[in-house]
Amino acid sequence: MQASSKGHLNLLVTLVFCALALSATSTAQQTKIKLVHATTDHALWRVDLKSQGYPTNSDDLQRRRGFANFDTISFVSDKVIATTFITRETIPTLQRRDDPNHARPYRLHALFLDALTGKTLHTIEWPIDDPNAGIFPRHDGGFLLVTSEKIASYSTDWTYLKEIQFSDLHSMTATLGGIAESPNANFLVIQFLTGNSSLCSRISTDTLSAVPANCGVLEVFTVSDYKIVEPEKLPAENEQRENTASHAYVQHSATTPGASTSGRAQSPDQAPAHQTICNPCAGIPQFINDDAMAVYSPENIRVVDGAGKISFSQDFNSKERWIDELGRPLRSSANGQRFAVVTNRSPFVDNSRSSAIHISTGDIPAEMPLDLEVYDLSAAQWIYTMRINPEQVHQIWGLALSPNAKKLAMDSGGTIQIYTLP
């Protein structure tokens, strides 16, 4: 009996010790991620694309791609980075444009790099008629090629799968407007403009099945798996921020195949076509995941949920730094846990508004990069800050977070570099 009691006591002590150990481990796991400070001088690796055919002195040519729609760099998986650029082709002086075999004036180049080493894994080139072209990751792996004429789907081993022509989605009189992808790469929304109206198609990145979606005429918008959100109006350059009445409106797309309305978009007979979700909320909205958006202006960034509640807000001193809201300076990870945003050095020494430096909705993310920050939604704080060395990185043409949010990639104009996140 005594031996049995002693054994029970030892077992009880062991269980208590294990419980304390587990509690300590749980507490450690719940500790917020510490802020890491880094510089662009210490990349995991760096690759100069000029050795791969990137043309020198081609900034004007590359800008014609339309950076409001296309990224120069993206993760097609946690292990593979895709980067793209265009070159101008020499074409015969005499040829018929309506000839299906006519020589195209441009060529889109895609290089697929190993995310760990920077080694080139594969390259593909496409002749194109219009420089507005690029690629988007697919949810199940692989990528989509989007040109001014079509969308083509490719597998993870770069095999061509299928395509759809834009002429099958709209009238021949429509022109290509905006393009936006849901954060998890499930859907791509293509906007077509015709006169003073627009129509959108929500396209599955896996199957290329397309359904109509309600959308406005602004080329700037953001999408989730269930919603389309756009600013009611963009701030004019000569308006003061306090006088700007920009509101974000959500437009439900209930015709998406397989979309559930539980806890997300309501059915058409339950919800209005437009619903105010952030008022006032000046700036450009962008989905981080299906339930949260970032809304940013030159002097402010906020994290907003689907009900319009602001969970985080930060103001910037425009004398020190500012965000180019028309340059798409923010990128999220496909897992919906983090986003990165790049800010510019301010050239102003007085109270002039930094937004006056905007060029167009085709701005690159940062013309005069100062720093880049990564925000973690679960930690509810900035967890990474990178100071840009202006002698090494003159501009930021593209940035991307890996799907698992563990790596950050940057395109500084033909030079690709990658960094490890905490």
Report the CATH number that the domain containing residue 311 is assigned in CATH. Answer: 2.130.10.10
Q: Do the Cβ atoms of 36 and 383 come closer than 8 Å?
A: yes
* Cα–Cα distance for residue pair 400/412, rounded to 1 Å: 12
* Cα–Cα distance for residue pair 44/57, rounded to 1 Å: 27
* Enclosing domain of residue 238: 33-91+103-256+267-420
User: Would you say how long the chain is, in residues?
Assistant: 422
Task: Give residue 11's pLDDT band: very low, low, confident or very high (50, 70, 90).
Answer: very low
Tell me the average pLDDT across 39-52: 94
More confident residue, 172 or 252: 172
Question: Looking at the predicted structure, is the pLDDT value of residue 361 above 70?
Answer: no
Q: What angle do CA 374, 223, 68 make, to 5 degrees?
A: 70
Assigned domain for 21 exists? no
Assigned domain for 230 exists? yes
Q: How far is CA 141 from the centre of its chain?
A: 17
Assigned domain for 127 exists? yes
Assigned domain for 7 exists? no
Can you give the pLDDT at residue 223?
Answer: 93
Lowest mean pLDDT among 184-193, 194-203, 212-221: 212-221
Can you give the pLDDT at residue 98?
Answer: 65
Name beta bridge partners: 297: 300
Assigned domain for 205 exists? yes
| pLDDT tens-digit series, residues 254-308 | 444 444 333 333 333 333 445 555 655 678 999 999 999 999 999 999 999 877 7
Assigned domain for 1 exists? no
Assigned domain for 24 exists? no
Question: Looking at the predicted structure, is the pLDDT value of residue 12 above 90?
Answer: no
* Cα–Cα distance for residue pair 176/142, rounded to 1 Å: 24
The dihedral through the CA atoms of 137, 35, 375, 260 has a sign that is positive
Assigned domain for 10 exists? no
Please tell me the total count of domains within the chain: 1
Mean model confidence pLDDT for the chain = 81
Classified as helix, coil or strand, 136 is: strand
* Cα–Cα distance for residue pair 409/227, rounded to 1 Å: 28
- Torsion angle of C-alpha atoms 344, 399, 314, 337, degrees rounded to 10: -170
Give me 106's structure tokens: 């441009």
